[in-house]
A and B are shown apart, each in its own frame.
Chain A
């Protein structure tokens, strides 16, 4: 099975985008990650991951929706692509198949 080039933090960000559906932009993604993982990434770190995800073709983006709170700046919304979805599935499959090979860990039992 071919491995994917999805980093650990990228994977989390990608999943957050998937969870959020149409509402995924910088701030909501950051909130989702905080809610799910308790990690508090800086805005820069998050966007760095989003930039990589986009250049790998796992997400697409469009810009819209400036608000006063943002000082009139636009948001960039992200959407998971089919390629992104496949990458997530691949990563998960790879992980569970390998975990199952470790003695003492049985995913099906948990």
Chain B
């Protein structure tokens, strides 16, 4: 029987490391043991143990002694000679060393900076002990398999019901925030809290949050308790004791007194739940509206903690069945409602649902940034390879002499690799210093509060990566350089190898490809962002000032009377053109509502968005009527009518505005019928990125969250001051915080603009590095062709001829690079633009301009070199032979 031989590759490594006489005996034993084991059974086991035995031989006693390495010198002393000669040669070729170190440093800095950013973004919410097993429950409503509603929130009883019904659910915690700000009164001061949230004591079990002061077991177990962050405690009470203080809280659904029962550390910035104000969930019990709507209002952020028996897909199906049972007959046949699970760790980058508690990050831009960083580093290393092989001619004599003096090829390879490593690590050192200096600015630029990674694994892998980079970029030049035959070099019959120049051309075209794509990408990004920013919003954003409507008096019957009285007076204020109050303003959440066209009652209902408002809304915001008219005080019957926008008109299935005015629509919730009073032109309500939302406007002045003022922009300060004093007279308890609508919409583009800035900075870097490489390459070409140029000059060639002579060696690379870049731009750009509902068309400019820029830069760098050579006296170059 023929026994299988053990794998042979370990011996290759061992032969490098171990002393040959030891190895013979030891490896013999390893072989014998292998066969012995293979006979006994378990071929695989024998093989695995073979590896163990083979590598166990790498021990001090078995290693090669220093004099067994190479020829006669010890390995270490050889290293120090490599190092010395490397330094000499690096100092001798100052220009190429400078270009290489500069390029690599910039490239590594870019990579390190972006790595910090990526590490921050990718590690959100990992600090929770149970982060693996926590999932958020989201809610999706499908009509005819189309996702019409998908929220990060579910119905109030979902969490507890799931704990009850499924043994794999260990615990749950719910959050409720009124979708708008809450108002907090401390003594005689009033504050607005954007994210004031109700939650349960299990908050401390599910998440790894604790209390600095107070007992986590009891702090949230009673109604009317609140725990606040340290910074809020300071804001409210200064240096006074906060625990036990009573504050007054009011929001859309009611108002109540709260006792401060705990203080916690300010939330971490790498959590998607950055909450400062947490009230006990039981506080909600005092308002009946929550109990009544428990299976109708999907407004509760619910997190589940699972134990080990959990299977996601199976759970989603069974949980969805469960809620269908509870929701009962309310669902129509073509409507399907489902519960879905989102892993906690993925929420920050992958979730963008309705009613997110905070704005999340974006995985696409993280991936984009990582890609850019890698490309920049690649350009820098390609520069090194290019310059090193181009330099080959210059160093050929060195190689020849070394070989004659007895250098082995290995030693030469080692020598050149040492140079590459040296460059790589010097650049890494410089880059780390640069990163430490730049990081705060970069952090501000991308608006993410991150600091330098402290993870040792990260830094070890950075050093390893720099080593691998040095190896990979050094290995090709090392082998090319060490392969020269000493006789041909020293006889002078040596010329540049064509092998090397082909590779060089490929690498240069690759660099052209990257540079052109980066410029084109930046242009596309810039154009698209500008397009969105300058797009007509569909309403007058410039003059609208928005103030959060007073809360405290909201539930009183007199509220509307007071608002109307305020409205009457505010109109007389100079500087204020118009006033209205409503349940939403552009940029803010609207209420989801389902309506149906009465003419098509058997058809499917449409999910629309509802804005409740008072008279004057359309005038204040300058919304344009296509048909019909606005609500008017002169027609009391307007209460039973609605106004819709174009998009809602389509959703409801009306032919045109004419058709809609004559029609009636039915509210699915209440069954009430409404006439359509008017149709308005679409406007951008929540975002410029998504398409127009279908909106229904209802005259329902009691549901007020925002006061909107159409103001004169001249003497704005005076107007705001007068308005503030008037507000405080009418609503003495409310804080006066105003914002302008155009600012709100600009804020939406902050993320985009940030991204554009970063992208632009990095693409400039990549172009810079690319031309730097080209510059170095052109310099070497020029010096190589020094004699040719001089002779041509003597024979009467003009500057342009010489320029084209040098440039011609790059034209093929440029051509190939441009074609590939155009393809990359076309397909990449098209895929990216598809993310936007409103987008620019790609045109020839996006392809031609980047190429033109790159050509211009290349010609300039080559021209510089050419002129330098061409303007020297030809005799100087020809004289010395």
Taking beta carbons and an 8 Å cutoff, which residues of A are in contact with B? Answer: 25-27, 30, 42-45, 47-48, 51-52, 63, 66-67, 69-71, 73-76
Nearest-CB residue, chain A, relative to B55: A44
| The stretch of B58-66, B413-421, B648-656, B765-773 that contacts the partner chain | B58-66
A48 touches B29 (CB 8 A): no
Q: How far is the CA of A75 from the CA of B27 in the complex (A)?
A: 10
- Option from A48, A52, A69, A76 in Cβ contact (under 8 Å) with B25: A76
- Option from A26, A27, A44, A76 in Cβ contact (under 8 Å) with B58: A44
Query: Which residues from B are CB-within-8-Å of A66?
Result: 28
- Option from B28, B31, B57 in Cβ contact (under 8 Å) with A44: B57
- Option from A45, A74, A75 in Cβ contact (under 8 Å) with B56: A45
- Option from A25, A27, A44, A74 in Cβ contact (under 8 Å) with B59: A44
Nearest-CB residue, chain B, relative to A29: B29
A7 smallest CB distance to B (angstroms): 14
B59 smallest CB distance to A (angstroms): 5
| The stretch of B32-40, B79-87, B181-189, B303-311 that contacts the partner chain | B32-40
Query: Which residues from B are CB-within-8-Å of A47?
Result: 25-26, 29, 57, 59, 61-62
A43 touches B24 (CB 8 A): no
Given contacts A47-B62, A69-B32, 10 further A-B contacts (CB under 8 A): A26-B25, A43-B33, A43-B53, A47-B29, A47-B59, A47-B61, A48-B59, A70-B29, A73-B27, A73-B28
Q: Provided the pairs A66-B28, A73-B24, A73-B28 are in contact, do residues A44 and B33 lie with their beta carbons within 8 angstroms? A: no
B30 at the interface (CB under 8 A from A): yes
A74 smallest CB distance to B (angstroms): 6
Q: How far is the CA of A27 from the CA of B35 in the complex (A)?
A: 11
A74 touches B24 (CB 8 A): yes
Q: Provided the pairs A43-B29, A47-B29 are in contact, do residues A69 and B35 lie with their beta carbons within 8 angstroms? A: yes
Nearest-CB residue, chain A, relative to B36: A27
B633 at the interface (CB under 8 A from A): no
B52 at the interface (CB under 8 A from A): yes
Q: How far is the CA of A88 from the CA of B58 in the complex (A)?
A: 29
Q: How far is the CA of A66 from the CA of B25 in the complex (A)?
A: 9
Query: Which residues from B are CB-within-8-Å of A73?
Result: 24-25, 27-28, 31
Q: Provided the pairs A73-B27, A76-B25 are in contact, do residues A43 and B56 lie with their beta carbons within 8 angstroms? A: yes
Taking beta carbons and an 8 Å cutoff, which residues of B are in contact with A? Answer: 24-33, 35-36, 52-59, 61-62
A74 touches B53 (CB 8 A): no
B28 touches A75 (CB 8 A): yes
Q: Is the interface of B mostly helix, strand, loop or mixed?
A: helix
Query: Which residues from B are CB-within-8-Å of A51?
Result: 61-62
Query: Which residues from A are CB-within-8-Å of B36?
Result: 27
- Option from B25, B52, B62 in Cβ contact (under 8 Å) with A74: B25
Nearest-CB residue, chain A, relative to B6: A71
Q: How far is the CA of A81 from the CA of B369 in the complex (A)?
A: 69
Show 5 residue pairs from A and B whose CB-CB distance is below 8 angstroms, ordered by the A residue: A26-B28, A43-B29, A44-B57, A67-B32, A70-B28
Query: Which residues from A are CB-within-8-Å of B57?
Result: 43-44, 47
A69 touches B53 (CB 8 A): no
Question: Closest 5 CB pairs between A and B?
Answer: A44-B56, A73-B28, A26-B29, A42-B56, A70-B28
Most A Cβ at <10 Å: residue of B31, B32, B53, B62: B32
Nearest-CB residue, chain B, relative to A45: B56
Query: Which residues from A are CB-within-8-Å of B53?
Result: 42-44
Nearest-CB residue, chain A, relative to B21: A63
Q: How far is the CA of A26 from the CA of B53 in the complex (A)?
A: 12
Q: How far is the CA of A73 from the CA of B34 in the complex (A)?
A: 14
Q: How far is the CA of A81 from the CA of B499 in the complex (A)?
A: 63
Query: Which residues from A are CB-within-8-Å of B59?
Result: 44, 47-48
Query: Which residues from A are CB-within-8-Å of B54?
Result: 43
Query: Which residues from A are CB-within-8-Å of B56?
Result: 42-45
Query: Which residues from A are CB-within-8-Å of B31?
Result: 69-71, 73
A20 smallest CB distance to B (angstroms): 14
B27 smallest CB distance to A (angstroms): 6
Q: How far is the CA of A27 from the CA of B30 in the complex (A)?
A: 8
Q: How far is the CA of A51 from the CA of B62 in the complex (A)?
A: 9
Q: How far is the CA of A27 from the CA of B56 in the complex (A)?
A: 15
Query: Which residues from B are CB-within-8-Å of A75?
Result: 25, 28-29
B61 touches A43 (CB 8 A): no
Query: Which residues from A are CB-within-8-Å of B32?
Result: 26-27, 67, 69-70
- Option from B28, B52, B62 in Cβ contact (under 8 Å) with A71: B28
Q: Provided the pairs A42-B52, A47-B57, A51-B61 are in contact, do residues A27 and B26 lie with their beta carbons within 8 angstroms? A: no
Q: Provided the pairs A47-B57, A47-B62, A51-B61 are in contact, do residues A63 and B33 lie with their beta carbons within 8 angstroms? A: no
B34 smallest CB distance to A (angstroms): 9
Q: How far is the CA of A67 from the CA of B25 in the complex (A)?
A: 12
A77 smallest CB distance to B (angstroms): 10
Query: Which residues from B are CB-within-8-Å of A63?
Result: 25
Nearest-CB residue, chain A, relative to B24: A73
Query: Which residues from B are CB-within-8-Å of A30?
Result: 29, 33
Q: How far is the CA of A73 from the CA of B20 in the complex (A)?
A: 11
Query: Which residues from A are CB-within-8-Å of B27?
Result: 71, 73
- Option from A25, A42, A48, A71 in Cβ contact (under 8 Å) with B61: A48
B11 smallest CB distance to A (angstroms): 9
Q: Provided the pairs A48-B61, A51-B61 are in contact, do residues A43 and B26 lie with their beta carbons within 8 angstroms? A: yes
Q: How far is the CA of A54 from the CA of B33 in the complex (A)?
A: 22
Query: Which residues from B are CB-within-8-Å of A74?
Result: 24-25, 28
Query: Which residues from A are CB-within-8-Å of B52?
Result: 42
A78 smallest CB distance to B (angstroms): 11
A51 smallest CB distance to B (angstroms): 4
B26 touches A44 (CB 8 A): yes
Q: How far is the CA of A38 from the CA of B26 in the complex (A)?
A: 22
Q: How far is the CA of A83 from the CA of B176 in the complex (A)?
A: 83
Query: Which residues from B are CB-within-8-Å of A76?
Result: 25
Most B Cβ at <10 Å: residue of A30, A45, A70: A70
A27 smallest CB distance to B (angstroms): 5
Nearest-CB residue, chain A, relative to B29: A26
Q: How far is the CA of A51 from the CA of B25 in the complex (A)?
A: 12
Nearest-CB residue, chain A, relative to B39: A69
Query: Which residues from A are CB-within-8-Å of B25?
Result: 26, 47, 63, 73-76
Query: Which residues from B are CB-within-8-Å of A26?
Result: 25-26, 28-29, 32
Q: Provided the pairs A73-B24, A74-B24 are in contact, do residues A27 and B62 lie with their beta carbons within 8 angstroms? A: no
B623 smallest CB distance to A (angstroms): 81
B48 smallest CB distance to A (angstroms): 12
Most B Cβ at <10 Å: residue of A43, A51, A74: A43
Query: Which residues from A are CB-within-8-Å of B35?
Result: 69
